[in-house]
Amino acid sequence: MIKEKDWIYTDKIKLPDDITLFAIGDIHGDIDAFTEMTDYVDTKYPQAKKITVGDLIDRGPSSIDCINFALDNYDHYIPGNHELLLIGTLHNLDH
């Protein structure tokens, strides 16, 4: 069984006062929405730190594209329950 202690990110993310943090989640495989929001942030806030907060996959047609895009364009990737279910399935874990 996957337990929180196995995947939770416990280090604090420290940002200078002049840095904007952009967090996005619940994309569910919609790469068009994901890239559009990211392009907006990159244009308006080019120095922003970007993190994902889970559920980038499932339901939509482009889940793998969303994962690859996040890994290439985001500073931190925090998995959500949909990612954890996929990881558990791939590793034949009881989830």
Please report the pLDDT score of residue 34 as a whole number.
95
Give me the percent of the chain exceeding a pLDDT of 70.
Answer: 82
How large is the average pLDDT for residues 71-89? 84
Asked whether the beta carbons of 86 and 54 are under 8 A apart, the reply is no
Q: What is the pTM of this model?
A: 0.75
Mean pLDDT score of the chain: 83
Residues facing residue 23 across a β-bridge? 51
Distance of alpha carbon 73 from its chain centroid, rounded?
10
